[in-house]
Amino acid sequence: MLQIKNLHAKIEEKEILRGINLSVNPGEVHAIMGPNGSGKSTLSAVLAGREDYNVTEGEVSFNNKNLLELSPEDRAREGLFLAFQYPVEIPGVSNINFLKTAIAEIRQYKGLPPMEAKDFLKLVKEKQALVELQVSLANRSVNEGFSGGEKKRNEIFQMAVLEPTLAILDETDSGLDIDALRIVANGVNKLRSKERSFVVITHYQRLLEYIVPDFVHVLYKGRIVKSGKKELALELEAKGYDWIRKELGEEVEA
Amino acid sequence: MKTKEISEVSKKLIEGIQSVQKRFDRVELLDSLRKGALKKFSEEGIPGKKSEAYKYSSPEKLFKNPLHIFNSVENVSFDFQVNEYLIPGLDAHIVFTVNGSFIKDVSDINDLPKGVIVSTLSEAVKNNSSLVKMHFGQLAENSKDPFSTLNSALTVDGLFIYVPEKTIVEKSIHIINLISAQENSFINPHHLFIVEKNSSVNIIESQTSSPKHPDCICNNQSSIAIHENASAHYYIVQNDEHVSWINNINASQDANSHFDTCTVTINAKWIRNNLNISLNGKNCETHLNGLFALNNKQHLDSHTMVEHRMPNCESKQLYKGIVSDSSTGIFNGKIFVRQDAQKTNAYQSSKNILLSDNATINAKPELEIYADDVKCSHGSSTGKVDEEALFYLRSRGIGEDSARIIMLGAFAEDVIEKIKISALKEYITGLIEKKIGGIRGE
């Protein structure tokens, strides 16, 4: 589904990703962990198509298409979804109109007929329940005045509505209390399927207690330096990132 | 007495006015207005390059070529489709004017509430001369704007709207101000609106022109008196690329009155809007809102002046603009608080989006305060469409153009949501959506 080969990316003149290799198959959940500044958010931004980053080397294929050549909207239409670490508030744009437009454009891209209004409302209602998002979406602007937890739930809610094949969760756990974390994780777990894959980016192991990954990768200084099964997350939690630094001490230049 | 050196262009215009004035009907009331105004205008002329108030707009160039000074009593042949100019779904009293002349045949003012008058100014001068006299000079003289003076010097006709005491005009009065001339003309309609105590009225004015005609200047003047405890809404929709428009709206408010204006500019060639509000009584409320979306070389210069003369009044201004291509938007808003106007609450905000490197915004807020117990603030911002928000929308599958249109629509929404008449709101939303849909970012 997603193949990342030797991906290098810069922001301004600073190289942040320095040769990432990752392969995600349908239905898999991959966790990417790493200390601050290791490139976790850069990886998600590059995959979603943020223009501030300059890919200097490597390739990314998504469903056999060259992902890096696609515009951010086409990536979304192809089934990629990024749950933002900091969801953006957009005053004046109602949540409902925003989703309606997104669905309409995605369906048009796929050559599907427009969704009936009543089907859309039904879908919204059903998915809102999934993430226990009780705010009235019709009357409120996108994320405006939402609490931190509501914003993150809104991300998962949008994901549920748009039904991507690959979802990248960028530090979705940051700023969440334990109850909100559980709700968000439950939402994600209900969306897990044989066809749908997840890349869960996180700093802490805590989220992975709720969203249990198939694979865990450690990102450090722009490279994946260690990969393993879910137990790796626990080991990392116990030993801390210094363990990785020590292990790499001889290999990585200071 | 030392007089200001005035330009050749101004001299020519003054000569023209002098000869035209000779042909006007002798009406005492108007004669004295015109005479006084011409004298005043002759001393200052058209604002030149050194004029602070017109420094971004250089109006002199509009007068370089010979202009026919339009005399409102000239016959207008009427061959317009009225329906084209109506606002869909708006149940309104329709007042159709061509070059400032009220065309009664195609207007619809049959079911006005009792005592409400909609007529030409010249009729009012004959039939309601004391009313006209009481309000006229005072309102026009309040304005220091040279084009207001110029309009007074050439005042022949315009509209007269009178709402008597304790009268609610439920349906809006929709004025269609259409310019259609056979040669380069200078047109000076002068309107007088009077809202008596405890009354209310909504006026909508569409400024437009019929295609296929030469360059014209329409120099409008609306004098509006809002008496005690009365309420007036004045919406102006500017959607015209052919005529250069100058608007002077001079309003005076008595105690406990309410005045709301909203000027929406969809298209412009060269426009100057002066809103001059004088709060002459206690507890007045006034709202000035503006929205514009300009492209090509469109030019819009909006000036507001709110003069707080009495205590406990509130004025709020919100102007939002989108400029693209090589267009120019100017907002100069002045809040003037006199010494007696304690407990004034005055707020002003100008927000703009630049869509191109060649587009220009000039925003100049001014506060002049002589009272010590007031709340006054102003803010101005000019920037681009929020890139973060744009990316967020795109990351959900919304195309770049649609995302930009959504963002611009949301930007405009703050002003549009203040429009209380739903058919008008829908109409303006449609016009703005269409306009921003055609505007490209860079």
Q: Find chain A residues with C-beta within 8 A of B400's C-beta.
A: 71, 73
Torsion sign across C-alpha atoms A83, A89, A90, A92: positive
Q: Which A residues 137-166 touch B at CB under 8 Å? A: 141-142, 158, 162
Taking each helix axis from N to C end, the angle separating A148-162 and A178-191, rounded to the nearest 10 degrees, works out to 0
pLDDT tens digit sequence for A3-62? 999 999 999 889 999 999 999 999 999 999 988 889 999 999 999 999 889 999 999 999
What pLDDT does residue B144 have?
82
Interface test with B, best of A67, A74, A84, A90 (most B CBs within 10 A): A90
Q: What is the mean pLDDT of residues B398-420?
A: 94
CA distance A38 to chain B (A): 22
Interface test with A, best of B318, B387, B396 (most A CBs within 10 A): B396
Tell me the pTM. 0.89
pLDDT at A245 over 70: yes
Say how far residue B436 (Cα) sits from the centre of its chain: 22
pLDDT at A94 over 60: yes
Q: What is the mean pLDDT of residues B218-225?
A: 94
User: B409, A49: Cβ pair inside 8 Å?
Assistant: no
**Mind giving me the DSSP string for B72-111?**
TTS-------GGGGSPTT--EEEEEEETTEE-GGG-B-TT
Rounded-to-integer distance, Cα B47 and Cα B267, Å: 24
Lowest-pLDDT range of B43-52, B285-294, B396-405, B422-431: B43-52
Interface test with B, best of A41, A84, A105, A112 (most B CBs within 10 A): A105
Q: Find chain A residues with C-beta within 8 A of B407's C-beta.
A: 90, 93
User: A101, B406: Cβ pair inside 8 Å?
Assistant: yes
**DSSP for residue A93:** E
Q: Find chain B residues with C-beta within 8 A of A106's C-beta.
A: 397
**Portion of chain B with pLDDT greater than 90, in percent:** 76
What pLDDT does residue B309 have?
96
Interface test with B, best of A73, A107, A146, A156 (most B CBs within 10 A): A73
Q: How much is the CA Rg of chain B, to the nearest whole Å? A: 21
Answer whether A159's CB lies under 8 Å from A191's CB.
yes
What pLDDT does residue B327 have?
97
Q: Find chain A residues with C-beta within 8 A of B395's C-beta.
A: 48-49, 72-73, 75-76, 81-82, 84
User: A73, B406: Cβ pair inside 8 Å?
Assistant: no
**Portion of chain A with pLDDT greater than 90, in percent:** 68
CA distance B85 to chain A (A): 30
Answer whether B137's CB lies under 8 Å from B168's CB.
no
pLDDT at B74 over 90: no
User: B399, A87: Cβ pair inside 8 Å?
Assistant: no
Q: Number of helices (H) and strands (E) in chain A: give both, helices first.
A: 9, 12
Q: Which two tokens stand for residue A145?
A: 């005045």
Rounded-to-integer distance, Cα A73 and Cα A79, Å: 10
What pLDDT does residue B142 have?
64
Considering only the beta carbons, identify the residue of B389, B398, B411 that sits closest to A88.
B389
Kindly list the residues of chain B whose beta carbon comes within 8 Å of any beta carbon in chain A. 386, 388-389, 391-400, 402-403, 406-407, 409-411, 413-414
Q: Find chain B residues with C-beta within 8 A of A92's C-beta.
A: 409-411, 413-414
Q: Find chain A residues with C-beta within 8 A of B398's C-beta.
A: 73, 98, 101-102, 105
The average confidence (pLDDT) of chain B is 92
At A253, is the pLDDT very low, low, confident or very high (cuts 50, 70, 90)? very low
Say how far residue B268 (Cα) sits from the centre of its chain: 13
**Cα–Cα separations (whole angstroms), residue B205 to B3, B147, B157, B330:** 38, 19, 17, 21
In sequence order, the β-bridge partners of residue B261 are: B234, B288
Rounded-to-integer distance, Cα B17 and Cα B400, Å: 53
Place of tokens 């907002």: B331
**DSSP for residue B168:** B
Considering only the beta carbons, identify the residue of B388, B397, B407 that sits closest to A73.
B397
ipTM of the complex: 0.95
- Helix (H) / strand (E) element for B279: namely strand B270-279
What pLDDT does residue A252 have?
46
What pLDDT does residue B158 have?
92
Rounded-to-integer distance, Cα B199 and Cα B194, Å: 10
Closest-CA residue in chain B for A89? Answer: B389
Q: Which A residues 100-119 touch B at CB under 8 Å? A: 101-103, 105-106, 109
CA-closest candidate to residue B182, choices B220, B216, B218: B216
Considering only the beta carbons, identify the residue of B388, B398, B414 that sits closest to A73.
B398
What pLDDT does residue B183 have?
84
pLDDT tens digit sequence for B254-273? 999 999 999 999 999 999 99
How many CB atoms neighbour CB B175 within 10 A? 28
Q: What is the mean pLDDT of residues B178-202?
A: 93
- Phi first, then psi, for residue A50 (nearest 5°) are -65, 135
Place of tokens 């007529």: B119
Q: Find chain A residues with C-beta within 8 A of B410's C-beta.
A: 90-93, 141
Q: What is the mean pLDDT of residues A125-131?
A: 89
Considering only the beta carbons, identify the residue of A105, A141, A142 that sits closest to B399.
A105
Q: Find chain A residues with C-beta within 8 A of B392's C-beta.
A: 84, 87-88, 90, 142
Answer whether B308's CB lies under 8 Å from B278's CB.
no
What pLDDT does residue A254 have?
45
Q: What is the mean pLDDT of residues B41-52?
A: 90
Answer whether A127's CB lies under 8 Å from A161's CB.
yes
pLDDT at B1 over 80: no
Q: Which two tokens stand for residue B87?
A: 């606002």
Three-state DSSP string of B13-73: HHHHHHHHHHHCCCCHHHHHHHHHHHHHHHHHCCCCCCCCCCCCCCHHHHHCCCCEECCCC
Q: Which two tokens stand for residue B4?
A: 């200001």
